[in-house]
Structure 1
Amino acid sequence: MNKLAVYHISDIPYAYAKNVNTLTIRIRTAKNDLNNCYIYYKDRFGDESFIKKEMYLISEGELYSYYEADLSVAKNRYKYIFELIDKNNVSYILDERGFRKSTYEYIDANSFHFPYISADDVYNENKILQEAIVYQIFPDRFFKGFNKSNPKTISEWGDENITFKSIFGGNLQGIIDKLDYIESLGVNLIYLTPVFKSTSNHKYNTCDYYKIDEIFGDKETAKSLIDKCHKKGIRVIFDAVFNHSGDDFFAFQDIIKNGEKSKYKDWYLIDSFPINQEALNYYTFANNISKMPKLNILNEEVRNYLINVGKYWINEIGIDGWRLDVSDEVSHSFWKDFRKEIKSINKDAIIIGEIFHNGFAFLKGDEFDGIMNYTFKNACVDFFAKRIINAKEFLSILSESRMLYMNSISNQMWNLLGSHDTKRFINECNLNFLSMKLAIVFQFSYIGVPYIYYGDEIGLTGEDDPFNRKCMIWDDSKQNKDLLDLYKSLIKLRKEYKSLVYGAFTPIYYEDNLLIFKRDLCDESILICLNRNEQKIYTKLNFNINGFDLINNSSFNVSKLENINFNPMEYKIIKLK
């Protein structure tokens, strides 16, 4: 047995309270290294014998296997040890000190301990989020409704000569006007990029956190949008930029005016006075973006101001949560305070962080409910679009990412294929819609929350910013109806079959271009087959398939070890009987 690969700590995600009466334990080993994995557990103060329970394989990557078990004892005080049996049937005991041969004399004090499950240690998973289908809207480019404050300088709708400063006039009334379309898709959560007063088209340089930008409308229009969405069963979350403000934000303007005498001088990270926006003697977002000065989140006045902003829009117009920009550059202590305050006024409020990398440090249950899952997006680009990794490598990337989190958090990750910060997925696919369809089927059948960037559903194209932010196409004759129908079908299936939301994810077969996996929940099993190859593939499985093809609406029955034919770039979603 490869002892170096074995890892466990009594902390998230290897030990955590699933609920007030259940402890989830996870352990990592080398891949395919064990015949069996057991856990022995009992009350940490009890005199009774240990209870033996088998741990089950829940995930495998290229290097590691992961086993898991749920434990319960009467008073929620746990001690436990592991027994690992290798391929030679040699048994090893693992306790807090390390490995012991199974023949050694057990010393109780060396057990792993999870001292007590307190009610406030339990992460309250967000079922609303787990069952969501997200639709992201970039307001300036979605639809232009009536607005008495339309800007004077505005580009013609659909003009593809886009610049970073182009304004097309899309607004909140435009979203209201198209709510029937959004409802027809089947999505139930709208994420709006920033709508607060700002000088840019993207609004990520906030001037006033308490005012809707006039180009988009006003507070009354925003409330009307929220109310109409809620009547259709659609939730809405806003985008907040708390890492930095715009340089025209009142506090920064006061510092420009009054220098070191400004009462807001500690609201930002300033090297020297007076402010010099050419020499940049202050911290900014990214590299030297003078119009986005970085806020000093450790300042108590700044913290209170921003937390109050978060609460204001929930109380004032009833938004359903926040997506938080550049969240990994804001302190953990602030997000913990932010979460407590937001959840105190709406326990179901959704809190999502923008993080382009592993977000483990922010996803222990006391900060965010999930993040924008760029690990998922990048893996899909590499497997489905660029084809630079095979199915085994693809699954390994996703497995290792998933094992960083509690299971409930994995169910809440926003699984995007693209956003306003990346080129369109169809462009990553070199406009190969068959490749994109395979990725969409996987997106809607994998663990986590499917996420649609406006326009993807009708085949809107776009390279990097600003071309990934084109105007939505409303001319039916120019929309990809085949793609749109696929999105609608997959959304309907995900709502109908809860195994696609909550079911265990089990890879069945994978080679270079063919990926077959199952989602299982109670008596419901869905088999998903994806052939990335541009040629027909034949394979055999070591079990009978007796099911119904949910895509082609036909029976699908194959005997054990009988050839299964997969057409080029084909996908199948089969409900097993």
Structure 2
Amino acid sequence: MLKEAIYHRAGNNYAYAYDEKTLHIRLRTKKGDVDSVSLIHGDPYDWTKEGWQTSSSLMTLSGTDEYFDYYFIAIQPPYRRLRYGFEIKSGKETLIYTEKGFYEKAPFDDTAYYFCFPFLNAIDVFRAPSWVKDTVWYQIFPERFANGDTSNDPKGALPWASEEPQFNNFFGGDFQGVIDHIDHLVKLGVTGIYFTPIFKAKSNHKYDTIDYLEIDQQFGDKETFRELVKVCHENGIKVMLDAVFNHSGYYFEPFQDVLKKQEDSIYKNWFHLREFPIETEPRPNYDTFAFVADMPKLNTENPEVREYLLNVARYWVEEFDIDGWRLDVANEVDHSFWREFRTAVKSVKPEAYILGEIWHDSMSWLQGDQFDAVMNYPFTNAALDFVAKEAIDAKAFAEKMTSVLHMYPENVNEAAFNLLGSHDTKRVLTFCDENKDKMKLLFLLMLTFKGTPCIYYGDEIGMTGGMDPGCRKCMEWDEEKQDKDLFGHIQSLLSLRKEFKVLANEGEMKFLTAEGKTLAYERSKEQESVLVLINAGETVAELSVNMTEGYEKIFGHDFTGSLPPYGFSMFRKK
């Protein structure tokens, strides 16, 4: 066995409390290097005259990625304390792996050799809101969804969809437009709306906030927003707003005061200013989002800034009953602020959802004291690479997804925000070179994967568009131009996700086969099981899957050992 590849730590994603009684423990080994792993475990204080009392429990192989195998066990210590190690077997070789290293025989004279989970404190259990696991989100870019009230159109607003989207044009999308089309969302089957920023700002995207406590007048007033939230809730739809606390807009009053008074401004410590006078060209001499001079970075270590932003966080929950916050550029804000933010929001609404925009490994934000989830871009990238771009095969996709699923604790994975496209990316159909069959497969993958999925407005009816601003076209409301077949495909998947809870977050995910362009995986829990078969290639493909126990097709193409080009089938175990 390659000892250097064997890894465990008593925390984070390798040992954690799944609920108030259950510990999840994982071990990593070199791929294909081990025959079996057993957990040696016992209460650290359980001693008799025979010595320390331990048990041995066989772990299961929970997944394999490009380099490693992962072993897993769920265990319920009777006294919520645990000392443990691993018995690892490969052929005739047996190793005991503990916190102190490797041994040929298990040392039982002192529990200090072993990994330690001191006590399962209920307050330390990671708890995302329970409703999130069953939610399907729909992202709305308010300026481009629907214009329901032309009286609040911004100056120079163009007739709806009369031109291609630009960085600086307006079409008058507003809250009334969303209210008018709520039936579209109900019919599709979504149960949550994620709005990009709605607060007063100069741009059409509103990520350059002028006033965090005022709605941009082009969207309507606070009473209209209150009505929108009410209508959503009456239709079983949660509401999540986008908060930009990393930076403000150029016209944010405190920053304007700094520009006017320079070093004499009482707000100079609200920002990261390196020198005076303030300069914006060729690069700003103050910290910003990227190097965008119009987006000065807020100093969240400043007590006044913290209190201002925490008041914003509480205000929209208290006054308008919103259900969550999506946090822009979340990884560039200090952890201390996010801990206070969580406390402030949860004190008003304990079941509010807190989602961070982070594109990389986010374990340090997902330990129960900051975010409930992050945007699952590793899933996005792997799914697009596999189906849309054909840059990787099914085996590589399965390995990448196994790595993602083992990157975080299981209760974190259940709340992960999965997406295929957004206002920051090309549209999904454009990624697919307008191959609708590929797009159907991508939505099948997302809507049967662990986490809470999100549909970008218009993707369900086949809208196209390149990178910003192309991905921000006006929503197509002419039914003759909507792709009803694609809408029906996504609608059916959402119905299946509601009918079979294992397709959402009640079931384990296991890859059964991944070869070439073909993929088979199972979502199961106890007696319920759903099998998903995919052919992401342009030719007929055979799949070798054991279905002897009897399965009933619930969606997709007929399967008799092969699938047509870009074919898919879903079966439930009878």
Asked if the contact 2:24–2:74 (Cα under 8 Å) also holds between the matched residues in 1, the reply is yes
For 1:23, the equivalent position in structure 2 comes to: 23
Amino acid corresponding to residue 4 of structure 2 in structure 1? L
1:351 aligns to what SS in structure 2?
strand
Q: What's the CA shift for 1:150?
A: 1.5
- Partner of residue 559, structure 1: none
After superposing the two structures, state which structure 1 stretch, 414-423 or 154-163, moved more. 154-163
Whole-angstrom distance in 2 between the partners of 1:263 and 1:103? 65
One-letter identity of the residue aligned with 2:437: L
Q: Deviations over 1:174-211 (max 9, x none)?
A: 00111111111110010000000000000000000000
Query: Residues 104 and 342 from structure 1, CA distance in 2 versus in 1: closer, same or farther, beyond 3 angstroms?
Result: closer
- Counterpart secondary structure, 1:148: helix
Aligned partner of 2:4 in structure 1 is: 4
Q: Is the 8 A contact 2:557 2:568 kept in 1?
A: no
1:482 to 478, 485, 505: 485
Match of 1:457 among 455, 460, 472: 460
> Which residue matches 1:525?
529
Alpha-carbon separation, structure 1, partners of 2:543 and 2:167: 49
What does residue 560 of structure 1 align with?
Answer: none
Q: Rate the CA distance shift 1:49–1:322 in 2: closer, same or farther, 3 A.
A: same
Which stretches in structure 1 are left out of the alignment for 5+ residues? 557-562
The alpha carbon displacement at 1:125 in A equals: 3.2
Alignment of structure 1 residues 20-419 onto 2, 5 Å: 20-47=20-47, 48-86=52-90, 88-102=91-105, 107-278=110-281, 280-287=284-291, 289-419=292-422
- Shift in alpha-carbon separation, 1:104–1:221, aligned structure 2, 3 A: closer
Q: Deviations over 1:314-353 (max 9, x none)?
A: 0011100100000011111111111111111111100001
Tell me by how many angstroms 1:539 deviates: 3.3
- Determine the C-alpha separation between the residues in 1 that align with 2:327 and 2:380: 18
Once the two structures are TM-superposed, the CA of residue 545 in structure 1 deviates from its matched residue by 5.2
Number of equivalenced pairs = 568
What does residue 14 of structure 1 align with?
A: 14
Taking the aligned partners of 1:105 and 1:551, their CA distance within structure 2 comes to: 54
TM-score normalised by L of structure 2: 0.97
- 1:40 is displaced (CA, Å) by 1.3
Determine if contact 2:127/2:372 at 8 Å carries over to the other structure: no
1:470-527 Cα distance to aligned partner (Å, 9 max, x none): 0000111101111000010000000110111121111111101000110001211100
Report whether the alignment pairs 1:505 with 2:509. yes
Q: Aligned partners of 2:246, 2:399: CA distance in 1, in Å?
A: 33
> What root-mean-square deviation, in Å, do the aligned CA atoms of Structure 1 and Structure 2 show?
1.5
**Cα 1:105/1:545, change in 2 over 3 Å:** closer
Q: Deviations over 1:432-460 (max 9, x none)?
A: 11111111111111111121000000000
Q: Is the 8 A contact 1:18 1:122 kept in 2?
A: yes
Query: 1:540, 1:20 → 2: CA distance?
Result: 40
What does the per-residue CA deviation read over 1:405-437, in whole Å, with 9 as the maximum and x for residues that have no partner? Answer: 110111111110000000011111111111111
Q: 1:24 & 1:165 partners in 2: Cα distance?
A: 50
> Does the 8 A contact of 1:84 with 1:93 survive in 2?
yes
What is the CA-CA distance between 1:546 and the residue it aligns to?
1.7
Amino acid at match of 2:518: L
Are the counterparts in 1 of residues 172 and 218 from structure 2 also a CA contact under 8 Å? yes
Deviation at 1:241, TM superposition (A): 0.1
Q: Which shifted more, 422-431 or 119-128?
A: 119-128
Deviation at 1:304, TM superposition (A): 1.2
| 2:472 is the counterpart of 1:469 | yes
How far did 1:147 drift? Answer: 4.6
In the alignment, the residues of structure 2 paired with residue 135 and residue 259 of structure 1 have an alpha-carbon distance, to the nearest angstrom, of 43
Identity in percent? 42
Contact 1:147–1:215 at 8 Å: present in 2 too? no
Secondary structure of the equivalent of 2:194? strand
Please tell me whether the aligned partners of residues 128 and 353 of structure 2 are also in contact (alpha carbons under 8 angstroms): no
Amino acid at match of 1:93: I
1:103 positional shift? 6.7
Match of 2:550 in 1: 546
Mapped partners of 2:342, 2:420: distance in 1: 27
Contact 2:23–2:76 (Cα < 8 Å) also in 1: yes
Partners of 2:518 and 2:543 within 8 A in 1: no
Which stretch of the first structure deviates more once superposed, 265-274 or 119-128? 119-128
After superposition, what is the alpha-carbon deviation per residue over 1:272-296, rounded to whole angstroms, capped at 9, x for unaligned? 1222233522111112x11100001
Q: Distance in 2 between matches of 1:460 and 1:20?
A: 45
| Partner SS for 1:283 | coil
Q: CA deviation at 1:116?
A: 1.2
Tell me, yes or no, if the aligned pair for 2:95 and 2:102 is still in contact at 8 Å: yes
Contact 1:134 1:452 in 2 (8 A): yes
Other-structure match for 2:499: 496
State TM-score, norm by structure 1: 0.96
2:426 pairs with 1:423: yes
Q: Whole-Å Cα distance in 2 between the matches of residues 142 and 104 of structure 1?
A: 65
Structure 1 residues 21 and 241, CA gap change in structure 2 (3 angstroms)? same
Shift of 1:364: 1.8
Deviation at 1:543, TM superposition (A): 4.6
Unaligned 5+ runs, structure 2: none
Shift of 1:106: 5.3
- In 1: Cα distance, 2:381 partner to 2:251 partner: 35
Distance 1:406 1:132 in 2: 19
How far apart, CA to CA, are the structure 2 residues paired with 1:235 and 1:122?
24
Identify which range, 68-77 or 298-307, moves more after superposition: 68-77
Question: 2:76 and 2:554 mapped to 1: Cα distance?
Answer: 39
Amino acid paired to 1:357: H
Residue number in structure 1 paired with 2:451: 448
194-203 vs 409-418, which deviates more? 409-418
The letter for the 2-side match of 1:174 is G
Structure 2 residue matching 1:284: 3-state secondary structure: coil
Partner of 2:161: helix, strand, or coil? coil
1:516 aligns with 2:520: yes
Distance in 1 separating the partners of 2:500 and 2:200: 42
Which whole-Å deviations, capped at 9, do the CAs of 1:21-43 have from their partners, x for residues lacking one? 22211111112222211111111
Q: 2-side partners of 1:367 and 1:222: how far apart?
A: 27
User: Contact (CA 8 Å) 1:531, 1:571: kept in 2 or not?
Assistant: yes
Secondary structure at the counterpart of residue 463 of structure 1: coil
Counterpart contact for 2:520–2:545, Cα < 8 Å: no
SS in 1 for 2:519: strand
1-structure distance, mates of 2:433, 2:183? 31
Q: How does 1:549-568 map to 2 (within 5 A)?
A: 549-551=553-555, 564-568=561-565
8 Å CA contact retained: 1:160, 1:470: no
In 1, Cα distance between equivalents of 2:508 and 2:92: 28
